[in-house]
Amino acid sequence: MTEGTHVPPPDSPQDRDGAAAAALELRSISAGYGASSVLHDVTISVPRSSVVALLGPNGAGKTTTLRVAAGLLKPASGTVVIGGNDASKAAPFRRARQGVCLIPEGRGIFRSLTVRENLELLIPPWRKGSDIDPAIQAFPILGERLGQTAGSLSGGQQQQLALARAFLSAPDVVLLDEVSMGLAPVIVDQIFESLKLLAATGVALVLVEQYVSRALEMADTAYLMARGAIAWSGPAAALDTDAITRAYLGHADEVPVHSEPKEKVTKR
């Protein structure tokens, strides 16, 4: 199958205009590093304008899954589908242009450059001429620090600067890898508020997040990973946020669900 080939979703009719295609799909993905196998037959679907929580203990394969989706790691087998088109062989920059935006764990900024210079560099080549206003609107503190070097910002402000990519690249789906890690609670609140604003614009989100309850409050769908495979998937409201702690302690095969789904908190 060649890059860009249209791939209809399995067992689902597809509109001629492609409107029914998911923003992102991973189909039967197996991947690893060298001789070490990490992912085993992982299948994930991210519908347009949805929020998906990808949960599991350290070492479960969450970051590797995001790396495969963004094109940073070539899978041993399986298919990556972006907007209904096969992108399995597409380079990372091509996937970015197709609408995939990865916010990796860590700051990912140019510390010696100013905030303004960092923001301008976050605007992709195909959007040159666009301004930085969307990022400033999402994170007003950055507008007050435009002339300041990025390395002198607080940790929370640096993370907001890194997150600005999601507001400047006009993505269809944003992959977020532990963006709240190591941040003060007040900054975590601000970041989740900005993610809610982003989701409200119709951008799909995939959340890999240590604050499980916060992720599930936003999410429509949840996937629980264990030992490189999907142990459970379903409505986020069905997951018991207390019992899920057991999954993080090595009991992910014991599906922590409510007998009846809780009422979903409206995020938009």
Q: How many angstroms separate the Cα of 195 from the Cα of each of 105, 126, 127, 142, 168? A: 16, 24, 21, 16, 14
Place of tokens 């007040």: 186
Q: DSSP string spanning 184-246?
A: -HHHHHHHHHHHHHHHHTT-EEEEE-S-HHHHHHH-SEEEEEETTEEEEEEEGGGB-TTTHHH
Q: Tell me whether residue 166 is in a domain.
A: yes
Q: Tell me whether residue 32 is in a domain.
A: no
Q: Write out the two tokens for 219.
A: 């999410």
Q: Report how far residue 166's alpha carbon sits from residue 173's, in angstroms, rounded to the nearest whole number.
A: 9
Find the range with the poorest average confidence among 64-78, 190-204, 209-223, 251-265: 251-265
Q: Tell me whether residue 125 is in a domain.
A: yes
Q: Tell me which residue range forms the domain holding 55.
A: 49-66+91-251
Q: Tell me whether residue 170 is in a domain.
A: yes
Does the pLDDT value for residue 175 go beyond 50? yes
Do residues 42 and 230 lie in contact, with contact meaning Cβ atoms separated by under 8 Å? Answer: yes
- In this prediction the pTM is 0.86
- The pLDDT confidence band at residue 12, using thresholds 50, 70 and 90, is very low
HSE-CB of 89 using CA atoms within 13 angstroms: 5
Q: Tell me whether residue 10 is in a domain.
A: no
Domain count, the chain: 1
- H/E segment holding residue 193: helix 185-200
Q: Report how far residue 61's alpha carbon sits from residue 223's, in angstroms, rounded to the nearest whole number.
A: 12
Q: Report how far residue 137's alpha carbon sits from residue 179's, in angstroms, rounded to the nearest whole number.
A: 19
Give mean pLDDT, residues 240-261. Answer: 62
Q: Tell me whether residue 258 is in a domain.
A: no
Q: What is the pLDDT of residue 15?
A: 41
- The pLDDT confidence band at residue 166, using thresholds 50, 70 and 90, is very high
Q: Tell me whether residue 78 is in a domain.
A: no
Give me the CATH number covering residue 219: 3.40.50.300
Q: Tell me whether residue 15 is in a domain.
A: no
